[in-house]
Amino acid sequence: MKLILLATLACASTAFSQSVKSNIPYVENGHARYVLDIYSPPNAKNLPVVFWIHGGGWTQGDKTDVKLKPQWFMDKGFVVVSTNYRLLPEVDMGTLTRDVAKAFGWMEKHIAEYGGDPTRVLVGGHSAGAQLAALLCIDDRYLKAEGASFDCLIGCVPVDGDTYDVPAIIETAETRLRVHHLPPRVNGHREKFGGTPEKHVDFSAVTHVAKGKGIPPFFILHVAAHPDTSAQAARLGNALKEAGVPTTVFGAKDTSHVKLNDDLGLPDDPATKALDSFVSAVLKK
């Protein structure tokens, strides 16, 4: 039994690795982090695309932190793109966000070469990547700068982000520290998002929600027991619903910030089942 299991795992691992094209540059002769990975099912042709943005507090993380998601999405008939981008403090938040948009622009121009359909793209991300995913799918300036538009977007899946409304999370965090007589954080959200109220507002996805923009349907996933990500998920969800954007907010129970992301793709995972329903719905449109 053990030998059979090992052989099965080895075969699965081989099949998986054969479908991955790693470290593809999205800027010629660019920064070392201007690279992305593409996961394609065998004989992929004209398949919908997942564009995934990793987390790590905008200061760390890597495109390889996708865990089970590439295989799960490939099994659903997707091509998966996972991108890197430059990080704080090497660049500021605006430059970092434009890096992700550059990767998206490259993907739209080249994904057909890897079996993907550039007119059907689902954008997702975890933690910091959730903030970036939501912003790209709501504030159209970033994609427009790369020659892309909302027309190709079929959905957005931000996972357990706490910065869809940056001023709100700054006030929440700083009030919590102040009332408990604790020192302020060093390099917290206030500093990461540019240090001024105007920048904090501009980097908030909720600021840019409006009717008639073509914002795609949203599946906002969060840890039900986490007060900050739950409040932020509700804030973004309410803003989108008021603008007439189809939106599902799902609070995952008995999990954590890291576990929620790592477990996406497990067959009995409740969040994965909810994601499956969302993906099936957006593919039917």
Q: Output the pTM of the full model.
A: 0.93
Predicted local confidence at residue 19, as pLDDT: 83
93 Cβ partners below 8 Å, 6+ apart? 58, 192, 193, 194, 199, 203
The answer to whether 63 touches 83, Cβ cutoff 8 Å, is yes
Q: What is the pLDDT of residues 210-221, one digit of tens each?
A: 999 999 999 999
* pLDDT surpasses 60 at 207: yes
Secondary structure class of 150 (helix, strand, coil): helix
2-6, 45-49, 124-128, 139-143, range with the lowest pLDDT: 2-6
Predicted local confidence at residue 11, as pLDDT: 42
The answer to whether 128 touches 158, Cβ cutoff 8 Å, is no
* pLDDT surpasses 50 at 3: no
The answer to whether 6 touches 21, Cβ cutoff 8 Å, is no
Domains of the chain as residue ranges with CATH: 21-284 (3.40.50.1820)
Q: If you average pLDDT over every residue of the chain, what do you get?
A: 94
Predicted local confidence at residue 285, as pLDDT: 78
Q: What is the pLDDT of residues 78-87, one digit of tens each?
A: 999 999 999 9
Q: Which residue has the higher pLDDT, 104 or 16?
A: 104
* pLDDT surpasses 80 at 112: yes
Q: What is the pLDDT of residues 257-278, one digit of tens each?
A: 999 999 999 999 999 999 999 9
158-167, 177-186, 269-278, range with the lowest pLDDT: 177-186
209 Cβ partners below 8 Å, 6+ apart? 138, 215, 236, 239, 240, 242, 243, 245
